[in-house]
Amino acid sequence: MINRVVLTGRLTKAPTMNYTPNGKAVSNFILAVNRTYTDGNGEKGADFITCNVWGKQAENTVKYLNRGSLCGIDGRLQTRKYENNGGQTVYVTEVVVERIQFLESKKDQQHEEQ
């Protein structure tokens, strides 16, 4: 079976960092990926993909990426479920990132913001 996801997009906000009870770092962010086609109104949409990065890559993600940062990811889809406070089962599909590539420097990002 093949489970491979490769995406390029921009972060919708700064990544967050958490640690598991045994001290492993995990970073979460949402990647906005533009669609290649236009809708009936001539507008291009985007998909907003939840991503999780683990270990040293998670720490680097928080250190070097921010809202609007361009990056490429390579990973796998994972679905999990949990029960919310209302007793309903909630299913979540996200990308577990195995490799992340920062596609612009902080200098490039600061230049675009001005």
Q: Spelled out in words, what is the top-level CATH class assigned to the domain 5-106?
A: mainly beta
Mean pLDDT of 29-40: 91
54-111 tens-digit pLDDT: 999 999 999 999 999 999 999 999 999 999 999 999 999 999 999 999 998 765 555 4
Which pLDDT score, from 0 to 100, does residue 43 have?
Answer: 84
Beta strand ranges found along 5-102 (DSSP E)? 5-11, 16-19, 25-38, 44-54, 70-83, 89-102
- The set of residues, in sequence order, having a beta carbon less than 8 Å from that of 8 and lying 6+ positions away, is 33, 70, 71, 72, 73, 103
Ranges of each domain in the chain = 5-106
- Residue 21 is classified by DSSP as T
pTM for this one? 0.83
Asked if residue 6 lies in contact with residue 73, where contact means CB atoms within 8 angstroms, the answer is: yes
